[in-house]
Structure 1
Amino acid sequence: MSLATDPMTASVSAAGLKARADHLFRAKRLRAFALPVLALLYLAYAFFAFDVTGLVERARPENGAILMRDIYSYKTHVERDNRSGEISYAIEGERKGQYPEGTRPEWVTVAGDVTTVAMPQGHELRYYPDHVEYDIPGYGTISARSSARGVDATYPEGPLPDYISAAANRVMVTTDAGRVTITRNRTEVFRYFTGWELFFFTLQSPYHGMGFQELAGHALNGEAGAIWHDFWYNEMWRHADVAWALFETVLMAFLGTFGAAIVALPLAFLAARNFTPLMVVRQAARRLFDLFRGVDALIWTIVLSRAFGPGPMTGALAILLTDTGSFGKLFSEALENVDEKQIEGIRSTGARPVQRYRFGVIPQVTPVLMSQVLYFFESNTRSATVIGAITGGGIGLMLTQAMITQKDWEEVSYYILLVVLMVFAMDAFSGWLRRKLIKGGEGGH
């Protein structure tokens, strides 16, 4: 009877296996189609939720072009006070970049009561005692007169071009030749030039405009200290302040990272299963680590700045708290994976627990610990830039101040470039230090 039913049982089993296989294939096929559909539905929701269409309509590419041009160029301002008639010339319109008394840019000429500003592409603006005229090739002449009511301007016949913004109180013309702004109180001409003007010396320095050979000659004649002083304490670019800000940024990252490592290492023994058998203590240590790393460093920065006030030390403490949680988890996991045989060998010599930890545990986990600490140090160098903007210290503060002014974007690009170079330097330094400490230098390869 069993022989007769064996083929039937085998057939039922095969049918069951086929049904299960078909079910698995259908479920897999359904998931393969469902995931892309869900992704498309989410993208469609995001498209309407974030109003992408409205964002495109509100976009102002010309403002982006002006911003990009400001990053690699500078503006020379020719400004007239419409109330007094006084004309001033300054790089970026700042007092620190103002031309000395009796001097002006070579592309500005004065003939009697008329001051002419020559601009690229044949554009020309003329200051008259009672009005302003702006010649635009291919369009015509704009004449504007300031009064108590605002700005009275006349234009060539026809509709106004897109590059002219006209209102009762202000007329602004923005072209590739520069920018002209006319208001009731003043008239300004912004002429763009490529480069970072006054990066080495301000207009007040006797070394401004000198070439390298001429500067070298002055330096050899005993003026090296004066040359360095005028460069290092440049009022426009503030090289001394920038260098100190970079040092503060690195110091925040260093104190926060290595301080966290010092605090986290002994606490990690409490969280490691093989060193702390008591579960209550172990869980308390782990939840403490979760609390510290569960709150972002920026949140800790805001909390600590209210408690201790602004400053680099507040940023260092914020990094320390966050990294203590991260290091505690990483270090405790490394301790749980140590080789017990090495510890037993140390114990067999009669060593005390502290000695067993020092010679049996620390040498095993040191490569992992140092590697993680140096990686975090490199990452925190970048994070300290943002934290410094909140705590009022480091290069982050200077970067934020330059962004808020919205006029010296070449300074913004300068600070960003320095931050990138600083990160490159920290990457190279941490890599070299890892090789020295972990692999024993070149001989370790």
Structure 2
Amino acid sequence: MATDTLEPVVILDDVWRNVRRRAWITVLAPFAVVAYLVYTWFAFDVSDLLSRAQPERAAILATDSVAYKVHVTKNFRRGELEVAIEGERTATYDNAEVPDWVTLDGENAFVDLGDGYTVEIKGKTAYFDVPGYGMIETTATAKGVETRLPEGEVPDWLKDDPRKLDARPSLDKRLQVTRTKIEIHNYFGGWENFWFPFRSPLYGKSFSQLYALALSADRLDPDYSNLWFIVHEFLGNPDWQHGDVFVALFETIMMAVLGTITAALFGLPLAFLAARNFTPSQVLRFGTRRLFDFLRGIDMLIWSLIFIRAFGLGPLTGALAIAFTDTGSLGKLFSEALENIDNRQVEGVKATGASQIQRYRFGVIPQILPVFVSQVLYYLESNTRSATVIGALGAGGIGLLLVETMKTSRDWENTSYIIILTIVVVIAMDQSSSWLRRRLIEGKKSG
């Protein structure tokens, strides 16, 4: 009777302890998360990072990546008044071709920036009329600039310095004055000279005009047909370098393909040595598995740096870096797939009198084929992105061109162009991988 009476008490005591334990976990878990976030805030010095952030700089770069600007420049050293796209000498308008929002009058000019913003250049003085603020009068002198501002508080978009005036009331309108020049920037959406160079005879032509020109027998260049001349002018565009970009993109794809295929060809036979049900020698299995750990334990970027030092720059170094890392990763995945096969299918093939190679071919490979195809295609898609990063370190390809466009703050539209092309290639690789996976594994046509 005493034992029967104590049993409910013991059960209730255990339940109470479990409730208290869960209550403590409920309290401590959020506290641990908050403590970790506080630690990372100070460990990573987030406050200093936020204080040094320049959101206005980011907005300018974002604008430059999707728009281009036309410069109206009065250069006092050369005594010239020029209108040029992106300030390029090769994209400078003749005086008779200037845009309709620019009026030239000898050494003077009137620029209508739209929305009521106007700039008038008279000699060495610029008059910037800003709606809602007033007239900014700036004169270039031998020592710097002298500026007369409207009364009131100086706005944030206006930087008045004795050496330079920088007025940017909006992202698409800007005036800069120094002792050597007056420069006006007017932004327009789109990418300048994307299809053809500014001085090309094809510049400014519509697609219908280009189509008619391609079919015409009257050649623009006696050495080329019109169709080839159009292609040549597009690929040889010095501003966008389409030909070089496409070649670099092809190198990146080949880097990923060569590295992935090499890793798969080496990883599969090594996987048999690492699989417990295929290699009875524990020493051989241990050594192969440690080889996989060594290859995939060193990051792909580190391998690429090693091979660049050993073999120099070039796509081959990137392919080797991908092959080394993925041999370890794919070998481990393949060995695990081999250890999980159904031995009854292998025994069935063996019962027919098949040789060792035939048992592998008809009893093992069909079972691991879905894993093999899926993993190889996934790594191929992933390595397309990785090859871009490896190329940026010096292995070549599209990554190297991407870094070169990011070195200056004036080529962000080229950076956007390369990034978009890279995303398109990754999407194409993903779609191709899905189609191949369905055809090879499911035996179905893509719908």
After TM superposition, the score normalised by the length of structure 2 is 0.91
Aligned partners of 1:388 and 1:396 also within 8 Å: yes
Classify the secondary structure of the residue corresponding to 1:442.
coil
Classify the secondary structure of the residue corresponding to 2:384.
helix
Match 2:195 to one of 197, 200, 210: 200
1:19 aligns with 2:19: no
1:215 aligns with 2:218: no
178-187 vs 283-292, which moves further: 178-187
1:65 deviates by: 2.5
1:154 aligns with 2:148: yes
d(CA) in 2 for partners of 1:224, 1:157? 61
Aligned counterparts, 1:152-301, within 5 A: 152-176=146-170, 177-222=172-217, 223-301=226-304
1:264 deviates by: 0.7
Partner of 1:3: none
1:146 deviates by: 3.1
1:242 deviates by: 1.6
Aligned partners of 1:276 and 1:282 also within 8 Å: yes
State the one-letter code of the partner of 2:79.
Answer: G
152-161 vs 48-57, which moves further: 48-57
d(CA) in 2 for partners of 1:302, 1:185? 45
Spell out, residue by residue over 1:26-55, the C-alpha distance to the aligned partner (whole angstroms, 9 max, x if none).
222221221111111222233344444444
Classify the secondary structure of the residue corresponding to 1:441.
coil
314-323 vs 339-348, which moves further: 339-348
Aligned partners of 1:92 and 1:408 also within 8 Å: no
State the one-letter code of the partner of 1:284.
Answer: G
Classify the secondary structure of the residue corresponding to 2:127.
strand
State the one-letter code of the partner of 1:213.
Answer: S
1:139 deviates by: 2.8
Partner of 2:119: 125
1:134 aligns with 2:128: yes
Aligned partners of 1:315 and 1:387 also within 8 Å: yes
Classify the secondary structure of the residue corresponding to 2:104.
strand
1:392 deviates by: 4.3
Aligned counterparts, 1:1-400, within 5 A: 7-99=1-93, 103-176=97-170, 177-222=172-217, 223-400=226-403
The verdict on how the C-alpha distance between 1:295 and 1:98 changes in structure 2, with shifts beyond 3 A counting, is farther
319-328 vs 226-235, which moves further: 226-235
Aligned partners of 2:77 and 2:180 also within 8 Å: yes
Aligned partners of 1:85 and 1:129 also within 8 Å: no
Aligned partners of 1:385 and 1:396 also within 8 Å: yes
State the one-letter code of the partner of 1:130.
Answer: K
d(CA) in 2 for partners of 1:411, 1:333? 45
State the one-letter code of the partner of 2:129.
Answer: D
1:246 deviates by: 1.5
Classify the secondary structure of the residue corresponding to 1:405.
coil
326-335 vs 209-218, which moves further: 209-218
1:434 aligns with 2:437: yes
324-333 vs 360-369, which moves further: 360-369
Classify the secondary structure of the residue corresponding to 2:198.
coil
d(CA) in 2 for partners of 1:170, 1:342? 81
1:380 deviates by: 1.2
1:272 deviates by: 0.5
Spell out, residue by residue over 1:351-397, the C-alpha distance to the aligned partner (whole angstroms, 9 max, x if none).
33233222321222112111110011111111211111112422222
122-131 vs 368-377, which moves further: 122-131
State the one-letter code of the partner of 2:173.
Answer: G
Aligned partners of 2:304 and 2:395 also within 8 Å: no
1:15 deviates by: 3.0
22-31 vs 259-268, which moves further: 22-31
Gaps of 5+ in 1: 1-6
390-399 vs 333-342, which moves further: 390-399
d(CA) in 2 for partners of 1:113, 1:161? 30
State the one-letter code of the partner of 2:408.
Answer: T
State the one-letter code of the partner of 1:121.
Answer: D
Aligned partners of 1:170 and 1:181 also within 8 Å: yes
d(CA) in 2 for partners of 1:207, 1:417? 25
Gaps of 5+ in 2: 218-225
1:302 deviates by: 1.7
Spell out, residue by residue over 1:234-274, the C-alpha distance to the aligned partner (whole angstroms, 9 max, x if none).
22222111211211111111111111001111111111001
State the one-letter code of the partner of 1:185.
Answer: T
Spell out, residue by residue over 1:56-77, the C-alpha distance to the aligned partner (whole angstroms, 9 max, x if none).
4444333232222222211112
1:425 deviates by: 0.6
d(CA) in 1 for partners of 2:269, 2:306? 26
d(CA) in 2 for partners of 1:147, 1:392? 50
Q: Once superposed, what is the RMSD of the aligned Cα atoms?
A: 2.2
Spell out, residue by residue over 1:388-415, the C-alpha distance to the aligned partner (whole angstroms, 9 max, x if none).
1112422222222222211122222222
The verdict on how the C-alpha distance between 1:339 and 1:317 changes in structure 2, with shifts beyond 3 A counting, is same
1:154 deviates by: 2.8
1:344 deviates by: 1.8
d(CA) in 2 for partners of 1:256, 1:186? 53
